Amino acid sequence: MMGVQLKVLIPEAEIQKKVHELAHQLAEDYANKHPLALCILKGGWIFFADLIRAIGISVECDFLSVSSYGTGTVSSEKIRLRSELSSCPTGRDVLIVDDIADTGYTLHELQRLLYAQGAQDVRICVLLDKPERRKVPVHLDYVGFTLPDRFVVGYGLDYGEQYRHLSYIAILEN
Ligand code: IMP
Ligand code: MG
C-alpha cells in the first residue's frame, strides 16, 4: 500500500514472553479441567497456535470464523458468524481466544451465545485490549497487553487482509 508505514509497537520477543506468562497462568487455572479452547478466526489464529502449544495441558481446540469489520478499520455492531462450532459447548469450560478486544461487540456476543448453548463457564483470553474503544461491557479474564486507541496490525491482525503474517505488532501510519 502506498504511503503506509509500519512502526513496531510490540516486538516478537515481548509477545512470546507474554504468551508464555499467559499460558502458565492458564495451565494453573485449567489444571484437570480439559477446557474447550475456541479460536476466533481470522485474527486469533497465530496467538491461539502459540498459546495452546505453550499451555502444556490437555485442551480441546475448536475454531469459529467471525467477522465484524469489513475491509477497513471501522467496527460494526453486528457480528457475523461465518462458521459453526464442530464441538458442543454444553456443560464445558470454554476459553475464547481472540486477538483483540476493541468495541467489545464480538466477545460480548460470543460469550452470550456460548452461555445460551449451555456452556458451564466461558472465559475470555485476548492478546490485546483497547479499553478506550469499548462500546459494550465485557469482562476479560486474561489480557496480554493494554493499548491506546491506535489501529494495529501483525501477529494475526490485518488491515484489508494484509500484515497478518508479521511476527510482531505494528502501528499503521499514513
Ligand atoms: P470488536 O470491535 O471488539 O468486536 O473487535 C472485532 C474484531 O476487530 C477483533 O477481533 C479484531 O479482529 C478486529 N480489530 C479490532 N481492532 C483492531 C486493530 O487495531 N487492528 C486489526 N484488527 C482489529
Ligand atoms: Mg477478531
Per-residue pLDDT tens over the stretch 127-169: 999 999 999 999 999 999 999 999 999 999 999 999 999 999 9
| Annotated catalytic residue 102 | yes
129 lines ligand 1 (CB under 6 A): no
Cell 469489513, located at residue: 70
Cell 490485518, located at residue: 158
DSSP 8-state class, residue 159: B
Q: Which of 98, 102, 149, 158 is catalytic?
A: 102
Architecture of domain 5-68+78-173: 3-Layer(aba) Sandwich (3.40)
Model confidence, pTM: 0.93
Nearest to 100 by CA among 43, 138, 53: 43
**Bridge partners (DSSP) listed for residue 169:** 10
Q: Is 136 in contact with 103 (CB distance < 8 Å)? A: yes
59 SS3 class: coil
151 lines ligand 1 (CB under 6 A): yes
> In the predicted model, what is the mean pLDDT of residues 11-31?
98
Burial class for 25, CB neighbours closer than 10 Å (0-12, 13-18, 19+): middle
> In the predicted model, what is the mean pLDDT of residues 64-80?
69
DSSP 8-state class, residue 91: T
Q: Which atom of ligand 1 is nearest to the CA of 150?
A: 19
Average pLDDT, the chain: 92
152 lines ligand 1 (CB under 6 A): yes
| Distances, alpha carbon 89 to alpha carbons 35, 48, 95, 117, 123, in Å | 10, 18, 10, 6, 13
